A and B are shown apart, each in its own frame.
Chain A
């Protein structure tokens, strides 16, 4: 256990919030607050990453025996809220949020001993290799193959949209190990793959904001030791689903629309838009949408706080949140008027508002993490129980 650890869950939320906030505010470097980039690469935030690791606060939900804080869902929500409120940068967190929890729940003792400390030290930076060119919304149709040869699996195929793969050295891979499974979901295996292995090629794909953020990952006869399989061969689908758990609430966390609204407010103040009753009315609508997103988020957080588990209905947060983010950034371009012709940031008072950057960024959350159409499909079946014929 890390020396700075204690039983955080025994504190009140308020006490924990105060302790966490004070330290983070004092230690997160100013130049990393409210970064323009949604996904900085490891080197840009390494200093902050290592500071968190030294403090033992890098991985909020891992058990303390593995170097985490061992937070329950309620305290985790506080952690995420304060993080966003203080404008801390998103760190490359696939190791902390995805690979780590997966291994803690399903990994072998050897896997845990080897990988978990290396995530905390920053030696291993992970990315998520699920999507393929022909397997997006229909992830279960993925075709990248892993074929057993002695003590190894030989991997062939292609992943795409792999966020930050160009700065990662390990990939959590979903691969097909049974082409003939009666249900495609039942022929998928989770593998831990070293991206520096021979046969791996990673190519960044510039996104709508002209940034290299997601990548293509080509795998050509890549050899992976069989001990790098997580859980059962052909049992990967259930693992990939299980690891999401209470974290699904964060797809609907108000931080992005909240930040975007502060930018809209800055621009509107500077351009005198609040003198316009029509704008005030539209702004009030957005403001109260955000306010009520907070209430809806609380309603699901309460379930977690009381030790419950989330149902499919939590998807409603992701829908509302991603669409609100879009509406706020669209209104910001409207306030920008003729200045919405600019690609770069708009000067306001002594600072800048990244109106176009946010508008373009807001296209993404409606697509990733299960597109909004897929979320609606899930809600219609799992919540409303609508007939399928």
Chain B
């Protein structure tokens, strides 16, 4: 079955995959999804703590800041495994994004990094209502404005904030418990709430970076997070395919397994092909991590490919489960919902493909 094939000379990738499998066996992903959804919260604290304890919160945080300092290949292997295991805590947006953002700065990030590694929730406020980049206003050390589509907003200790001061981008932090900060939550399709955070004259921490350094850090954070999302989507795609091959190979109608019908076989083969392409596209991106221009393009391609593959495969998977697939108790529907959520995070496929084209034609 499709897998993201990467060189693994010192078995780090195998180790990461194993540790995800171990956690997956302990913290049943599907059950956690449903429990979190029923509780209307943004993450499952127990699973999140286990992930932090395994070192994944700081996986891509530089060693100098106390992180594991691992690279694109390790990130991809871990995220793919999370996708397969349906471990749906917001790893990409709450571990990868702030890690890369902080790691890219030339500032004292020790306290924030330590909190992050320890499992603290540090969401980044930078998006508007429709996901567009939307800085808050910073004046006299106080923040005003609102941010949307915020993961982990209910559980946050500290928010990292993209703001604008005197026409220049700045990065600051703000305590979640600050006066003048309010959080509203809406249910997300993957069982975790998304927050809107409204700030009015909330006291900000010291400025962590200014100007081009901020833009550059955001570019890096978005890119690595997209790579993680792509890998997770590829994992979802191949696991959903496996589950469906299994189901249709056991489900009997007309005295035959339904997977013995050619119409079903052809559908499954098409799904497999989509998953294969998703995996190779993500592997390609992971191997280009040290060539900035090529990497940027490869990540756009991978996230678009894996997003399309995961959503299409999980849709077909639901269909091939018949009415069973239309129930909430059947896990295949959870894979569909997770795929929809991740595909919509940090750019849907068309937007990414157009960005690829623009960059290529500008070059």
Do A and B interact?
yes
**Contact B348 A131, beta carbon cutoff 8 Å:** no
**Contact A363 B315, beta carbon cutoff 8 Å:** yes
**Contact B323 A131, beta carbon cutoff 8 Å:** yes
Interface positions, chain A 299-349, Cβ under 8 Å from B, are: 326, 330, 333-334, 336-344
**Contact A373 B261, beta carbon cutoff 8 Å:** yes
**Contact B344 A339, beta carbon cutoff 8 Å:** yes
Interface positions, chain A 72-103, Cβ under 8 Å from B, are: none
Say yes or no: is B71 at the interface (Cβ < 8 Å to chain A): no
Identify the interface centre among B194, B253, B258: most chain A CB within 10 Å of its CB. Answer: B253
Identify the interface centre among B186, B188, B326, B340: most chain A CB within 10 Å of its CB. Answer: B326
Chain A residues near B188 (CB, 8 Å)? 341-343
Contact of A138 among B149, B254, B326, B336 (CB under 8 A): B254
User: Which of B46-54, B236-244, B277-285, B327-335 participates in binding chain A?
Assistant: B327-335
Interface size on A, residues (CB 8 A): 41
Given A134-B252, A138-B254, A376-B263, verify A338-B130 contact (CB < 8 Å): yes
Q: How far is the CB of B274 from chain A (nearest CB, A)?
A: 15
Say yes or no: is A278 at the interface (Cβ < 8 Å to chain B): yes
Contact of A368 among B149, B323, B333, B351 (CB under 8 A): B323
Chain B residues near A363 (CB, 8 Å)? 315, 318-319, 325-326
Contact of B328 among A208, A337, A376 (CB under 8 A): A208
**Contact B315 A340, beta carbon cutoff 8 Å:** no
Contact of B322 among A136, A208, A214 (CB under 8 A): A136
Chain A residues near B211 (CB, 8 Å)? none
**Contact A367 B319, beta carbon cutoff 8 Å:** yes
**Contact A136 B340, beta carbon cutoff 8 Å:** no
Q: How far is the CB of A333 from chain B (nearest CB, A)?
A: 7
**Range for the number of chain B residues in contact with chain A:** 35 or more
**Contact A339 B131, beta carbon cutoff 8 Å:** yes
Given A337-B348, A338-B149, A343-B188, verify A206-B329 contact (CB < 8 Å): yes
Q: How far is the CB of A7 from chain B (nearest CB, A)?
A: 42
**Contact A340 B327, beta carbon cutoff 8 Å:** no
Given A208-B333, A344-B186, verify A338-B344 contact (CB < 8 Å): yes
Chain B residues near A206 (CB, 8 Å)? 327-329
A212 (CB) vs chain B CBs: closest residue: B328
Q: How far is the CB of B330 from chain A (nearest CB, A)?
A: 9
Given A136-B253, A337-B130, A338-B131, verify A373-B350 contact (CB < 8 Å): no
Chain B residues near A161 (CB, 8 Å)? 323
Chain A residues near B187 (CB, 8 Å)? 342-344
Say yes or no: is B343 at the interface (Cβ < 8 Å to chain A): yes
Q: How far is the CB of A380 from chain B (nearest CB, A)?
A: 10
**Contact A367 B149, beta carbon cutoff 8 Å:** no
Chain B residues near A359 (CB, 8 Å)? 340
**Contact B323 A137, beta carbon cutoff 8 Å:** no
Say yes or no: is B68 at the interface (Cβ < 8 Å to chain A): no
Interface positions, chain B 295-334, Cβ under 8 Å from A, are: 315, 318-319, 322-323, 325-329, 333
CA distance A366 to B189 in the complex (A): 22
**Contact B341 A341, beta carbon cutoff 8 Å:** yes
Q: How far is the CB of A346 from chain B (nearest CB, A)?
A: 10
Q: How far is the CB of B138 from chain A (nearest CB, A)?
A: 24
**Contact A341 B149, beta carbon cutoff 8 Å:** yes
B194 (CB) vs chain A CBs: closest residue: A341
**Contact B328 A341, beta carbon cutoff 8 Å:** no
Say yes or no: is B127 at the interface (Cβ < 8 Å to chain A): yes
Q: How far is the CB of A241 from chain B (nearest CB, A)?
A: 17
Say yes or no: is B19 at the interface (Cβ < 8 Å to chain A): no
Given A208-B333, A333-B344, verify A342-B323 contact (CB < 8 Å): no
A161 (CB) vs chain B CBs: closest residue: B323
Q: How far is the CB of B77 from chain A (nearest CB, A)?
A: 25
Contact bitstring A145-170, B, C-beta under 8 A = 1, else 0:
00000000000000011000000000
Say yes or no: is B207 at the interface (Cβ < 8 Å to chain A): no
Given A138-B254, A366-B319, verify A336-B325 contact (CB < 8 Å): no
Chain A residues near B269 (CB, 8 Å)? none
Chain A residues near B328 (CB, 8 Å)? 205-208, 210
Say yes or no: is A18 at the interface (Cβ < 8 Å to chain B): no
Q: How far is the CB of B98 from chain A (nearest CB, A)?
A: 18
Q: How far is the CB of B346 from chain A (nearest CB, A)?
A: 8
Say yes or no: is B155 at the interface (Cβ < 8 Å to chain A): no
CA distance A86 to B131 in the complex (A): 35
Say yes or no: is A127 at the interface (Cβ < 8 Å to chain B): no
Q: How far is the CB of B326 from chain A (nearest CB, A)?
A: 5
A282 (CB) vs chain B CBs: closest residue: B350
Chain A residues near B190 (CB, 8 Å)? 341
Contact of B325 among A333, A344, A367, A376 (CB under 8 A): A367
Chain A residues near B264 (CB, 8 Å)? 373
Chain B residues near A333 (CB, 8 Å)? 340, 344
**Contact B254 A337, beta carbon cutoff 8 Å:** no
Say yes or no: is B220 at the interface (Cβ < 8 Å to chain A): no
Chain B residues near A138 (CB, 8 Å)? 253-255
B312 (CB) vs chain A CBs: closest residue: A330
Q: How far is the CB of B226 from chain A (nearest CB, A)?
A: 13
Chain B residues near A366 (CB, 8 Å)? 319
Q: Which 6 A-B pairs have the closest CB atoms?
A: A338-B131, A340-B344, A138-B253, A206-B328, A343-B187, A161-B323
Give 25 pairs: A residue, B residue, CB < 8 Å, sorted on A: A134-B252, A136-B323, A138-B253, A138-B254, A205-B327, A205-B329, A206-B329, A207-B328, A208-B327, A208-B333, A333-B340, A338-B346, A339-B344, A341-B189, A341-B344, A342-B187, A342-B189, A342-B194, A344-B186, A356-B189, A363-B315, A364-B326, A368-B323, A373-B264, A376-B263
